[in-house]
Each structure stands twice: as C-alpha cells, then as structure tokens.
C-alpha cells in the first residue's frame, strides 16, 4: 500500500514528546450520514491541528459499514485539505447519532501524513499513529487479523519502529464472542496478535490495549507507537487482577471454545506523565463478576480501575491522577443511562463517551478504558 506523504511543522519549539488532547463531538443534526459528518467537522476548531478522527456509528452489516466508511473518509478529505487519520467503528453511540473523537496536537512537531498513518517528530522522539487498519471483506476474523498485523508490521518497519515500540493499541472485533468450529472470534484475534508479537522481546511490557466488540466491519486495529522517548515507559499492574497475558487456560472459554493463546496486553501503561488505561471490566483475579445488574458491575469496574490508577500504584513519586477521557462500552442499550449515572456520580465532570458494544466475555455487561495524567 502506498500513497503520497505530506509534511508540515506545528509550533516553534522542540519538546521530547508531543502534547495531545481528545475532544468528543456529537452530531447536532439527524438525517443522512454525510450531513451529520459535515456538522461535526464544521465544529472542529482551528486553534490546534487535528491529527486523528475516530467516528462511531451504528451499522447493521459489513456492506453498511463499508458504505459509511467511504462516506466519512470522503467528506473528511473534502473538508480538511490536510486530512487527519480517519478510523471508523461500528459501535452505536448513546445518542444514536454520529460521534467523533478528535485528537488534537497542542505542541511542536514535524507532522508527516501518509495514507494510513501519521508520524510526529520532535526533539529526540518519534511517534506513529495509524488509522483504523482493516480488511473487512477478506476471510474470517483470524485471516483478517493476520492481514491487519502484516500491514501494521510493514508500517512500523517502513519508519524503523520495532513491534515492541507499540504502547497503545485499540482492537475492534466484529461479533467478538461468536464461536465458529469451536473457536471464539476473540481467540482467533488473540492467536494472530500473539504470533505478531512473538517476533520481538518486550522489555517495557506489552501495550495497553482494548479488545472490544463491534457490530460490523471485521477486525479494525489502531496502534500508537513511540521510540526515542527518554522518560518513564513501563507497564502498570492492577493489584486486584492477574495480568491478562498470564491468564490460565480456560478464562475466555464458555465450555465450547478452544483457548490457545492469552490476550497480550498490560492493565495500564505509563509513558512520561501519561497513563493509558486498558479495557477494564468487573474482573478480579481472572474471574468475572456474574451479576446481571449493570449497577453492580459498574461499581465493581470502577473499584478495579481506581486500584489501577491509585497514585502509589502508578509510581512512587506520583501524587495524584486525573482522567482526561473515558470510554465506557455497554452491552445492553437499556443499561446506558444506569451506567452513565454511576460513572458520573463517581468521577464527576469527566469527558465520558458511552457506546453500545459486546464485551469479550459474555457475562460482562460493560467495560471501560481511558487516558489520563499522573502528577508528581
């Protein structure tokens, strides 16, 4: 895959790693997807440079997903001459309308935009962010996953990144808990990921990651990789949970599936003062909370994540932590308001994005992820 590269400079002073922030914009209009997209794009300010847009929308099947994907890419390119990375995820937002998460660049960087990834260069540090890499009309989930990771490997190699430079990864998997021939879709994905990761050592731990369901579109993966950064770069374990990559053999099975490799991700990842919180649910040790009450699972998931981001668990010199953004994936649409109220009551005025999605275990009703800052 090839395409032209555009290059430009943002800011006027060198720093070790770029500062970014994410805004959530919900379409204020109903109607055609193109109309909703233009409504969102006209509300993106020009004070900062938008480097990535992730669109979330409902889609009943892969054909609908592909049509929406083409529309959103086309409209975004028409509005933005220097088009940000675009990713499309078939997860229904709470509002029912199109929602975009927009990542803005606040600080100096040389920005190099390629067809499906962007490179940010600052003094002594290089960052790489892909768009949503997917091949939704090619084979089953396992075959798609292999192709996705092949493309990601080629992107990383083209910019002299190692696979182990990935620090955050988002994995969207169509019908994640569906089982074919005794193997769950999530297991097919995990096998491909494990094979991709096996080519290198991981001295700083695996990436923080989310493996979550979507309604259509096959497998879509977004990666963020960093090299040359001289600050803190290490995994964050959760004292209430076993690391996912150390799960026992039957954790993801419901009695029918074959389990062959574990999910390769850390509970959290510290990069400088940025904390990436992986997909987190009501799991303690390696066992799920089996309550069918969304309030109970929300309380449990909040307790689990609070142990992860407890300042003393992040680092010895961390005095406090603040979430900048949190996504919450909710299995049942009827639980949306209950889950929202529980999270707002606990976290207060937080940037909160709720989406309908299948969770990687059938008994789990919700999962959260986030990004925040540690203060020293």
First to last CA, the chain: 43
Predicted local distance difference test score (pLDDT) of residue 41 = 96
Q: What is the per-residue pLDDT for 137?
A: 80
Q: Note if the pTM is more than 0.85.
A: yes
So what's the pLDDT on residue 369?
Answer: 98
Token pair for residue 291? 């309550």
Measured in residues, the chain has a length of: 376
Q: How far is Cα 80 from Cα 226, in angstroms, rounded to an integer? A: 26
Q: 29: which 2 tokens? A: 């209009």
Pairing of strands 352-356, 320-330: parallel
pLDDT at 8: 52
Is 253 in contact with 179 (CB distance < 8 Å)? no
- Under a CB-based contact definition with an 8 Å cutoff, are residues 257 and 187 in contact? yes
Please report the pLDDT score of residue 160 as a whole number: 98
- Residue 131 has phi, psi (to 5 degrees) of -75, -175
Among the listed residues 261, 279, 303, the one whose alpha carbon sits nearest the alpha carbon of residue 358: 279
Average pLDDT, the chain: 92
- pLDDT recorded at residue 45: 82
User: Using CA atoms, how far apart are residues 117 and 132, in angstroms rounded to an integer?
Assistant: 9
Pull the structure tokens for residue 255. 């009695």
CA distance 167 to 228: 13
Cα distance between residue 207 and residue 164, in whole Å: 8
What Cα–Cα distance (Å) separates residue 309 from each residue in 195, 268, 301, 312? 30, 9, 13, 8
- Residue among 90, 88, 94 nearest 73 (CA): 88
The tokens for 374 are 């540690």
Looking at residue 238, its pLDDT comes to: 98
pLDDT, tens digit only, all 376 positions of the chain: 445 666 556 544 444 678 899 999 999 999 999 999 999 999 998 888 899 999 999 999 999 999 999 999 999 999 987 789 999 999 999 989 999 999 999 877 899 999 999 999 988 799 999 999 999 888 899 999 999 999 999 999 999 999 999 999 999 999 999 998 888 999 999 999 999 999 999 999 999 999 999 999 999 999 999 999 999 999 999 999 999 999 986 665 544 555 579 999 999 999 999 999 999 999 999 999 889 999 999 999 999 999 999 999 999 999 999 999 999 999 999 999 999 999 999 999 899 999 999 999 999 999 999 999 999 9
What are the structural domains of the chain?
6-273 (3.30.1330.40)
pLDDT value at residue 298: 97
DSSP 71-86: HHHHHHHHH-SSPPEE
Which residues have CB under 8 Å from 244's CB, separation 6+?
A: 262, 263, 264, 265, 266, 267, 278
């Amino acid at each position: 895959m090839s395409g032209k590269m555009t290059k430009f400079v943002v800011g006027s002073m060198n720093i070790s790693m770029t500062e970014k922030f994410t805004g959530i914009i919900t379409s204020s209009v109903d109607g055609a997807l193109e109309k909703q997209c233009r409504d969102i794009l006209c509300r993106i300010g020009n004070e900062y440079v938008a480097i990535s847009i992730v669109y979330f929308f409902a889609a009943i099947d892969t054909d609908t997903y592909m049509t929406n994907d083409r529309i959103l890419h086309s409209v975004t390119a028409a509005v933005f001459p220097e088009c940000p990375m675009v990713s499309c995820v078939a997860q229904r937002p709470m509002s029912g309308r199109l929602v975009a998460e927009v990542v803005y660049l606040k600080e100096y960087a040389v920005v190099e935009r390629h067809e499906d990834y962007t490179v940010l260069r600052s003094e002594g540090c290089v960052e790489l962010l892909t768009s949503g890499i997917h091949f939704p009309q090619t084979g089953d989930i396992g075959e798609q996953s292999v192709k996705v990771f092949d493309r990601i490997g080629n992107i990383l190699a083209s910019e002299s990144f190692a696979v182990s430079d990935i620090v955050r990864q988002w994995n969207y998997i169509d019908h994640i808990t569906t089982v074919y021939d005794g193997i769950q879709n999530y297991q097919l994905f995990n096998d491909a990921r494990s094979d991709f990761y096996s080519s290198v050592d991981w001295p700083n731990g695996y990436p923080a990651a989310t493996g979550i369901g979507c309604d259509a579109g096959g497998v879509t993966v977004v990666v963020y990789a960093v090299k040359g950064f001289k600050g803190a770069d290490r995994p964050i374990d959760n004292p209430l949970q076993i690391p996912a990559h150390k799960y026992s053999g039957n954790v993801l099975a419901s009695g029918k599936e074959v389990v062959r490799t574990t999910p390769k991700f850390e509970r959290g990842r510290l990069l400088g003062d940025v904390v990436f919180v992986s997909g987190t649910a009501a799991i303690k040790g390696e066992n799920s909370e089996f309550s069918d009450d969304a309030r109970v699972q929300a309380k449990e998931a909040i307790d689990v994540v609070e142990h992860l981001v407890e300042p003393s668990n992040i680092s010895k010199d961390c005095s406090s932590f603040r979430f900048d953004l949190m996504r919450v994936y909710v299995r049942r649409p009827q639980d949306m308001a209950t889950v929202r109220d529980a999270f707002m009551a606990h976290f207060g005025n937080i940037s909160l994005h709720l989406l309908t999605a299948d969770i990687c275990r059938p008994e789990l009703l919700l999962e959260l992820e986030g990004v925040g800052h540690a203060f020293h």
